[in-house]
Structure 1
């Protein structure tokens, strides 16, 4: 009870919750730094996307970094998609709403171009991958690939980005990179389910149906719906394998992934 009154007093002193333990709210940022908000659409559309941009803009103002600029690039991409769709909605009585949303579209285009120019020479791995994947910049790709030997790509999402390059060139290496991404997850981390989808589709292409089934089963457990598990099961039965045993293997993998103890199958004693 004493804690409740203490928290309530803090909220009252800070202006009815406008600031909690030093963290500014969106409304407070917009009041203090209107330039961070006024170039975005002012209606209710794309509220989440706008809030993320405003918070990241504010954080980058306080302490600029390549990581925050990369975050802004992705956020403005999402915002551009959202506000572009909203701008197509016709308002018979409120034509100004369409104009307001077009302002957001123009802002997104301008900010993406500016951020791209500002980060063109960055050696941050995320930005190197961004400039290669978005603009086909070969210099960025060479620098990104060169980071693999330095250990700078030892993060799950960076291993996945590295796999994006090799998937059209070396499927076995792609599989190993995706396995390593799973090895790098720690207990409690949110796992990218696209890894399971990618592993299953690669094994299907290689006609390694039992492996494809294991990863399709895991993908389904992670709510991936694009794979036809029944169809893959039929292929498994055609090659004389027991889906039930494969599901047991998949359940063990899931347990290992969730506990941060996954080890690539090639390093385990059983073969399937």
Structure 2
């Protein structure tokens, strides 16, 4: 029997949760092929870490969901490294070359993963192929999952919302509410939910709800909404801002604690 690496032994002893505890440096030392095609300098550190961790997980427990995660990882990495590769390093020209190598890796992996997952029936990958390549067949199969538990995840409710937002605003709002209901305590919440809710309620001319979700969004890093205009509209309608802000704060606490329930 071959010798078991210390890293794999650690995994076997500590169970599945160890995936979240593996150090990127350790992965690269034990599995250099998972890191060597990415830029070695400090640019895009978070994006690289996500790729390396998901590559490591995929090598031990392959799944459609991890392929989806890797597609998103490489999209984010490509955006970051494309910008970084345009930056000249005065003293070390090879730095730019290494970043270009990372950009080529991102483009290659995106093409490879897209080709390999083209026929997948995973809801995550069906959504990916519809949203990125306008694959109507993928959309048809994705929508067939709507009434099943296969889409009972926040990101999949948001995915459904991107389809219905074109023609059914009330349903889109309910889908975004349900996404918030599905978050568990300490989950990372998608800030686009708050931008979308604010925009939808603006279009519905329900300015109190638009302001509420814009105000709540501040707690989740959304700082590019024009709340000043909304405040002026509400004051013009003789609405008190403080009660709306307090309700928003209450919803924020519920979301953070995984206890949000959609308003009736």
Name the TM-score, length of structure 1 as normaliser.
0.82
Quote the residue 1:270 is aligned against.
none
Give the structure 2 partner of residue 82 of structure 1: 80
Instruction: State the aligned residue count.
Output: 250
Per-residue CA distance 1:1-46 (angstroms, 9 max, x = gap) = xxxxxxxxxxxxx79xxx7976654344334433222222233322
Q: Which runs of 5+ in 1 are unaligned?
A: 1-13, 267-272
Aligned-residue offset at 1:236: 1.3
Whole-Å separation in 2 of the counterparts to 1:216 and 1:258 = 16
SS at match of 1:225: coil
Q: 1:240 to 1:107 in 2, by over 3 A?
A: same
CA distance in 1, matches of 2:167, 2:107: 33
Of 208, 218, 226, the match for 1:220: 218
Any residues of structure 2 matched to 1:44-123 within 5 Å, and which?
A: 44-123=42-121
Cα distance, 1:139 vs structure 2: 1.0
Distance across 1 between alignment mates of 2:154 and 2:199? 19
1:40 & 1:107 partners in 2: Cα distance? 7
Structure 2 vs 1, CA of residues 182 and 33 (structure 1 numbering), >3 Å: closer, same or farther? closer
2:229 corresponds to: 231
Higher mean C-alpha displacement, 82-91 vs 110-119: 82-91
Which digits, 9 at most, give the CA deviation of each residue in 1:203-254, with x for residues without a partner?
1112111221222221223332122222212211222322223223323323
Alpha-carbon shift at residue 93 of structure 1 (Å): 4.3
| TM-aligned CA deviation for residue 63 of structure 1 | 1.9
Distance, in Å, in 2 between the alignment partners of 1:86 and 1:79 is 10
Q: 2: distance between equivalents of 1:244 and 1:163?
A: 30
C-alpha change, 1:174 and 1:41, in structure 2 (3 Å) is same
* Residues 106 and 187 of structure 1, relative CA distance in 2, 3 Å threshold: closer
d(CA) in 1 for partners of 2:187, 2:29:
36
Which residues of structure 2 form unaligned runs of 5+?
A: 1-5
